[in-house]
Structure 1
Amino acid sequence: MYNSKGIQAYRKDSLKSDLASADPHRVIQLLMQGALEKLALGKGCIERSDWEGKSTSLTRAVEIINALKDALDRDVNPELVDNLDMLYEYMTMRITEASVSKDISIIDQVMGLLLQIKGAWDQITPADKQAAYQGQQEVQAGAV
């Protein structure tokens, strides 16, 4: 069959190239997808009693969610950003709980929440992205 290391290297290179050419919207999509993949991997590790893999995967999922949290722009919509901030904080707390208790139902819950956010994010149209980008430039120009 295929060499899994080769596939992993390809995926890593593919992701790097995707990130290098990505707009900020796409970067957030990739982060969300990465978090979902790490959560699914962590869930599988729990099911197989692979505790080292569980720890690595769930730790990485928390790191990605923290990166999403850090990327929030408080100037855009403070109320929405505060809600997302609290939701991301809740997710990291629940992932830690799932890791300690080895409870995959908690991981399913976090994945469901993240899928809802990603679904809304994926529905943002190119016109909406352009309008947001222009608004952001105007805010930055006004601050100078």
Structure 2
Amino acid sequence: MPAYTLQQKAYAQYKNNKVMGASGPELTLMLYDGAIKFLNIADYAIEKNDVQKAHTNIVKVERIIDYLRNTLDMRYPVAKDFENMYSYIAMRLVEANISKDRDIIIEMNEHLHAIRDNWVEVMKANNIAVKDA
């Protein structure tokens, strides 16, 4: 078996173990990090006029936002605030995907960074270890 295949398998196993061993708050942080990563890829793809790559990565972010929206516990008042933020982001992502507008991607990236940074502060305030932050 070629070495790169073993390395790929080892990395995939590492990522799987990281996800499987993560707490709920850690998983949420991973989702925010993933969304930011995919937005960065989409932004670069738009800059390079790679329409398909931009589309693929914007859709990945849309799926993450949909997942986050679907996991909100609406018994808590703060969930409505998150629902409003996620709804706005989802709407703007559709607009960005249709028009391949980098300005919208940059705006959504700023919002997701702010949400992620606030999430890290909440985790720290609740004595939840923040790995790789």
1:101 CA displacement: 1.2
Deviation of 1:74 (Å): 1.9
CA contact (8 A) 1:46 1:54 kept: yes
Partners of 1:86 and 1:8 lie apart in 2 by 39
Flag the structure with larger Rg.
1
CA contact (8 A) 1:25 1:129 kept: no
Which segments of 5 or more consecutive residues in structure 1 lack a partner in the other structure?
131-144
Number of residues of Structure 1 aligned to a counterpart in Structure 2: 126
Match of 1:71 in 2: 71
Aligned match of 1:114:
112
Q: Distance in 2 between matches of 1:6 and 1:40?
A: 28
Q: Deviations over 1:96-143 (max 9, x none)?
A: 11111111110111111111111111012466267xxxxxxxxxxxxx
Unaligned residue ranges in structure 2 (runs of 5+):
129-133
Q: Which has the higher contact order (CA 8 A, sep 6+)?
A: 2
RMSD, aligned CA: 2.4
More deviation, 35-44/3-12: 3-12
1:26-45 equivalences under 5 Å are 26-45=26-45
Provide, for residues 42-79 of structure 1, a one-character-per-residue CA deviation record: whole Å limited to 9, x for no partner.
1111011111111110001100111111121222x32x
- Residue 136 of structure 1 corresponds to none
Does the 8 Å CA contact 2:29/2:119 hold for their aligned counterparts? yes
Identity over the aligned pairs, expressed in percent?
25
**Any conservation in 2 of the 1:41–1:54 contact (CA below 8 Å)?**
yes
Structure-1-length-normalised TM-score:
0.77
1:91 paired residue number? 89
Residues 70-91 of structure 1: CA distance to partner in whole angstroms, max 9, x if unpaired?
121222x32x211110110110
Runs of 4+ in 1 over 6 A off after TM superposition: 3-8
TM (norm. structure 2) is 0.83
Equivalent residue letter for 1:120: N
The 1:71–1:57 alpha-carbon spacing in structure 2 relative to 1, beyond 3 Å, is same
